[in-house]
Every structure is written in structure tokens, then in C-alpha cells.
């Protein structure tokens, strides 16, 4: 008779492959699923009664920004409590390494202001960053991408510079080191400084290296508005020419005049996938996005990083030019948002305006909306964050339910109660089940789980996670289908979801009866290079 560490009894298993549910017990030894079947004659240290509940692989958040906040809040409460057992960080062109004299003062602004103030950076190379992440006790598994913006800034700084042959070789050497250390690929943030300054030659040369290691290229495209299709063809061309596995980050079309373009982008993705290109996307189930407030400004204002941004915004001449340009191209350029579409989610110096729209703050302060933006960015030293309401619910539903689109939160581990962050930080994964499966019936439960588990695992090359099967790692979520629901909102974001009863990470119970146990069995996951 086998003695198990954990037996999960009597639940309905959705194994992550898209197959229908089936009823079975699960036996776990150490960090591995050992056996499926009737285990009524076996003993275990822990027996979980899952009768009437669903058992699935742990959710994999393929697009996360907790590169630094994992060090400040290693229990990862707002992700563990929504069933996430693995997060993929280093997205949108930004990672905390490699660090050189060229970019060390910019590392804070490369990150999402997410705990870097409370943690002393103890690394320089990507290898040493992974070593610190590996040593850290944490509740969630972490897989890491290396950010192109960080690689570029390590050699060129934050200016609009075309690399020489020697400089491109230096960037390539840093990329090679990162991939050898275990990075799962490289991310691009083509809307952000300094990734936005890269041309086709630079991106193609670096993508060839990523392809050689079997990594992914995760792309925040240059434009998610009027030029969305041009932007997707740009990165498809790179993938086609280099053979790199392409992941389109947080696929969406922003701005009313651009609604419908995401559906066209899906058709393009389908077309190239059918021709053999390894292309897929990820998305979150909300109609609002979130990023730094500075992203609404033209690139010439942002060049050089936050210090240069603030310096420019203090110049009357620059502000006059900025006003004139915004009058012509609109807020956030091709996305054509209005001031009442933008809500401040975080302002270090003006906590009283968190949760207010720009037009509301303008009335409160007696200023023009553009002057509100300038005041906030100057006084917050460029670190103000926003939520932008610019997507169409019908289009979001179509993207979320598409078989080539994985679920990713685009959020990060947060300190409970701080700021007014996007509700995706607390509710992304339960929301997909509650809204798109149970309420709207747009996708089946088995398909929703596949999009949260085996689909991102396959893309990343996590061959022993994302499926419930003997020999796979015991990352498991157990939830009540009738009650699972996100409770976080834009006005009251700091709320955990309900209905998730148990979360197991590497064979250790981290959520028990809906409560975090404080256990920290998470591991650093490294991409295997053959």
C-alpha cells in the first residue's frame, strides 16, 4: 500500500488538456502527482475532501510584472488567492537585470514601482538576479523573461540611439548570458522607452538568438490603437524571418475609433498559425488597461527616462509644443482617448486623487486636464500610474474566448490596501470562470482551464506543469464552480475572490479552506537549454 503525502478525494478533475471533467482521487508524494484513481484504501498525511468541487492544474499567469514585488511580498497573496501557482515575469521589455553603469539609475522606472523601494538590489548580471530569486522563499513559482529594454539600456542607456555593430554585439552577449542562465525568452515593450527606439535590424538579430535557445518572444506591440495591424505584422515578420516563438502580449484594441481591430488581429494570428508559425497571444478579461501615466505622452517627451521627462515638463516651450501636439493627435496618440477615460490608480504625492478621472481632478484643482497630467508627473517624478478605459466588452469577450489566447493578468503582486490598482491584480482568473463560463457561457469550463494551464505551459516549455497527470508537478487548484467569483472592482480593488478552497504548490498546501497558510514552497523555474 502506497503512503501518500496528500490525497485529494472525490472531486471532478479538469486535467488542463481541454478534456471533459472526470471523477477521481489524486495521490501526491513530495512535489509530484503520483497516482489517479480510487485511493480509498490508501493513507496520507493530509486528506482533502473535494466532493462537489473541481480540481484543476494551478493557473499559470503568462503575463505578470512581479519582478521586484515578489521580494517584498513573497507570499504573493493576491495571486495565490486567485489560484495562480506560477507567474511569468520580465514582460513588456522590462526586467531587473542585467544592470550596468549605463542603466542602474533607471532600474526603478523599468519596474512597476512595485516594492523596489523596500528591497536592496543585490545583483548585476541576469545570472545573479536568478540566484537571488532562487534563494528567496516564496509561495508561487516564478519563470522569468529578460527584457529587451533592460538589455538595450545596459549598453545604450535610455536615449534614442541606433546601436553600432560593436554595441549590438554587447547587447547580444547579455542576451546570450540571460538565456543560458534560464530565461524563458525575451520580451519587447515597443511602446516604452527605450525599447521603442529599436529598429527591425536590431530586433531581428536579437530574436535569432532567442530562437536558437527555443525561447519565446513576448511582445507589447508599438501600437494597440489605429496602427494595431501594422504593429502585429511588424512582429510577425520578425518571427517568420527568425523562427522565434511569438507571444502577443495583452491583445486588445484601445479607443472607440479602433474597436474591431482586435478581431482582425485574431484572424491574422489564426492565418499565420495555420501556416505553421508558432504564434499565440494572451489577454485579460477587462475593458480597461493600466500602465504609467507618462505613456499618454509622445516619445520625444519620454526619451532619456523619468528625469529627462520631468526636466522637459518644467519647460514652458516644451509644454507649449506638447499642448499643440496633443490637440492634433489626441490623448495616447492613435488610441484617441478622452480625459474622462483615464483614472489615476497610483500617485505617491497625491493619494487624494487616486481613483479619480483626469477631468475630475481638473475640476478639483482648477486646472486644464493637460496641466493635471504635467503636475502629477513632475511631482511624482514620472511614477504616476493610470487605468485607461478604452476597450469594447464584445471584443474583449471574443479575444478571451479564442483558442489561441491564454489568460494573463498583466498585474503584479501588490501590498493589500495600497493605491487603487486595476482589479485584474486580484480577480483575473476567477473572473474568466465566473463571467465567461458560468454567466455568459461563451466557453466551456474545460476550455477556460486549458487557456490558464496547458496552453501557457506548452508555449513556455513547462513540460511537467499545466496538466493533472502522474509524473507532473503537484500545482493544483480546488474550487467551487457555483460560487467562484472575482470581487475586486475599479473603485474597491483590494478584495480577494471567493470560491477557491484549496491551492497546492509543489505538493504543499498554500490555501486551505480559502485562507493562505503562509507556506512558501514556490520555486524558480528555469528554461532548459538543450
Q: What is the DSSP letter of 186?
A: E
Cell of 134: 532562487
Burial class from Cβ neighbours inside 10 Å (0-12, 13-18, 19+) for residue 208 reads middle
Residue with cell 516594492: 115
Find how far residue 270's CA is from the centre of its chain. 22
Q: How far apart are CA 69 and CA 126, in angstroms?
A: 17
Return the bridge partners of 524, or none.
142
Q: How far apart are CA 468 and CA 61, in angstroms?
A: 17
CB 506 within 8 A of CB 474: yes
3-class DSSP string for 46-103: EEEECCCCEEEECEEECCECCCCHHHHCCCCHHHHCCCEEEEEECCCCCCCCCCCCCC
Q: How far apart are CA 73 and CA 413, in angstroms?
A: 7
pTM reported for the whole predicted model: 0.94
- The tens place of each residue's pLDDT in the chain, 530 residues long, gives 689 999 999 999 999 999 999 999 999 999 999 999 999 989 999 999 999 999 999 999 999 999 999 999 999 999 999 999 999 999 999 999 999 999 987 777 666 554 445 567 889 999 999 999 999 999 999 999 999 999 999 999 988 999 999 999 999 999 999 999 999 999 999 999 899 999 999 999 999 999 999 999 999 999 999 999 999 999 999 999 999 999 999 999 999 999 999 999 999 999 999 999 999 999 999 999 998 898 888 888 888 888 889 999 999 988 888 888 877 665 555 556 889 999 999 999 999 999 999 999 999 999 999 999 999 999 999 889 999 999 999 999 999 999 999 999 999 999 999 889 999 999 999 999 999 999 999 999 999 999 999 999 999 999 999 999 999 999 999 999 999 999 999 999 999 999 999 999 999 999 999 999 999 999 999 998 75
Return the bridge partners of 384, or none.
none
Q: How far apart are CA 220 and CA 190, in angstroms?
A: 6
What is each CA distance from 443 to 402, 438, 448, 449, in whole angstroms?
9, 9, 7, 10
Picking from 385, 355, 297, the residue whose alpha carbon sits closest to that of residue 111 is 385
pLDDT digits (tens, 9 = 90+) for 65-91: 999 999 999 999 999 999 999 999 999
What is each CA distance from 527 to 141, 183, 294, 327, in whole angstroms?
13, 6, 34, 47
CB 43 within 8 A of CB 4: yes
Crossing angle (nearest 10°) for helices 200-212 and 228-242: 50
CB 109 within 8 A of CB 383: yes
pLDDT digits (tens, 9 = 90+) for 110-121: 665 544 455 678
Cell of 54: 473541481
Backbone angles phi, psi at 288, to 5 degrees: -120, 145
Residues 463-497 as b or e (16 or more Cβ within 10 Å = b): eebbbbeeebbbbbbbbbbeebbbbbebeebbbbb
Amino acid at each position: 500500500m502506497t503512503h501518500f503525502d496528500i490525497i485529494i478525494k472525490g472531486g471532478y478533475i479538469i486535467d488542463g488538456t481541454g478534456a471533459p471533467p472526470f471523477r477521481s482521487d489524486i495521490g501526491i508524494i513530495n512535489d509530484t502527482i503520483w497516482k489517479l484513481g480510487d485511493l480509498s484504501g490508501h493513507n496520507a498525511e493530509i486528506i482533502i475532501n473535494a466532493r462537489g468541487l473541481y480540481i484543476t492544474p494551478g493557473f499559470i499567469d503568462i503575463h505578470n510584472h512581479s519582478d521586484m514585488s515578489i521580494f517584498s511580498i513573497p507570499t504573493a497573496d493576491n495571486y495565490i488567492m486567485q489560484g495562480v501557482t506560477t507567474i511569468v515575469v520580465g514582460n513588456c521589455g522590462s526586467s531587473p537585470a542585467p544592470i550596468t553603469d549605463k542603466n542602474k539609475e533607471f532600474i526603478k522606472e523599468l519596474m512597476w514601482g512595485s516594492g523596489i523601494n523596500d528591497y536592496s538590489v543585490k545583483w548585476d548580471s541576469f545570472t545573479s538576479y536568478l540566484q537571488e530569486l532562487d534563494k528567496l522563499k516564496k509561495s508561487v513559482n516564478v519563470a522569468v523573461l529578460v527584457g529587451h529594454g533592460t538589455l538595450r539600456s545596459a549598453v545604450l542607456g535610455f536615449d534614442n540611439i541606433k546601436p553600432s555593430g560593436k554595441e549590438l554585439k554587447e547587447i547580444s552577449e547579455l542576451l546570450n548570458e540571460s538565456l543560458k542562465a534560464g530565461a524563458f525568452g525575451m520580451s519587447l515593450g515597443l511602446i516604452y522607452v527605450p525599447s521603442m527606439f529599436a529598429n527591425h535590424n536590431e530586433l531581428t538579430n536579437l530574436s535569432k538568438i532567442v530562437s536558437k535557445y527555443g525561447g519565446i518572444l513576448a511582445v507589447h506591440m508599438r501600437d494597440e490603437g489605429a496602427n494595431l495591424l501594422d504593429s502585429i505584422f511588424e512582429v510577425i515578420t520578425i518571427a517568420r524571418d527568425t523562427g522565434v516563438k511569438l507571444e502577443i502580449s495583452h491583445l486588445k484594441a484601445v479607443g472607440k475609433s479602433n474597436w474591431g481591430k482586435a478581431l482582425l488581429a485574431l484572424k491574422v494570428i489564426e492565418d499565420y498559425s495555420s501556416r505553421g508559425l508558432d504564434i499565440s497571444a494572451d489577454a485579460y478579461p477587462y475593458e480597461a488597461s493600466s500602465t504609467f501615466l507618462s505613456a499618454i505622452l509622445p516619445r520625444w517627451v519620454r526619451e532619456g527616462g523619468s528625469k529627462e521627462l520631468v526636466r522637459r515638463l518644467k519647460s514652458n516651450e516644451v509644454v507649449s509644443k506638447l499642448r499643440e501636439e496633443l490637440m492634433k493627435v489626441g490623448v495616447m496618440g492613435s488610441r484617441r482617448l478622452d480625459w474622462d477615460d483615464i483614472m489615476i490608480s497610483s500617485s505617491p504625492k497625491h493619494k487624494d486623487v487616486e481613483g479619480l478621472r483626469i477631468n475630475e481632478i481638473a475640476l478639483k484643482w482648477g486646472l486644464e486636464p493637460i496641466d493635471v497630467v504635467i503636475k502629477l508627473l513632475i511631482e511624482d517624478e514620472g511614477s504616476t500610474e493610470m487605468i485607461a478605459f478604452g476597450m469594447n466588452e464584445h471584443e474583449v469577450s471574443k479575444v478571451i474566448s479564442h483558442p489561441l489566447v491564454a489568460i494573463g493578468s498583466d498585474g503584479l503582486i501588490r501590498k493589500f490596501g495600497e493605491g487603487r490598482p486595476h482589479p485584474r491584480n486580484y480577480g483575473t482568473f476567477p473572473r474568466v470562470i465566473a463571467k465567461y463560463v458560468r454567466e455568459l457561457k461563451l466557453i466551456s469550463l474545460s476550455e477556460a482551464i486549458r487557456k490558464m494551464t496547458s496552453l501557457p505551459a506548452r508555449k513556455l516549455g513547462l513540460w511537467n506543469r499545466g496538466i493533472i497527470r502522474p509524473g507532473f508537478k503537484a500545482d493544483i487548484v480546488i474550487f467551487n464552480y457555483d460560487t467562484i467569483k472575482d470581487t475586486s472592482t475599479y473603485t474597491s480593488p483590494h478584495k480577494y475572490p471567493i470560491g477557491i478552497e484549496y491551492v497546492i504548490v509543489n505538493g504543499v498546501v498554500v490555501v486551505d479552506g480559502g485562507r493562505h497558510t503562509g507556506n512558501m514552497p514556490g520555486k524558480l523555474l528555469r528554461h532548459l537549454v538543450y
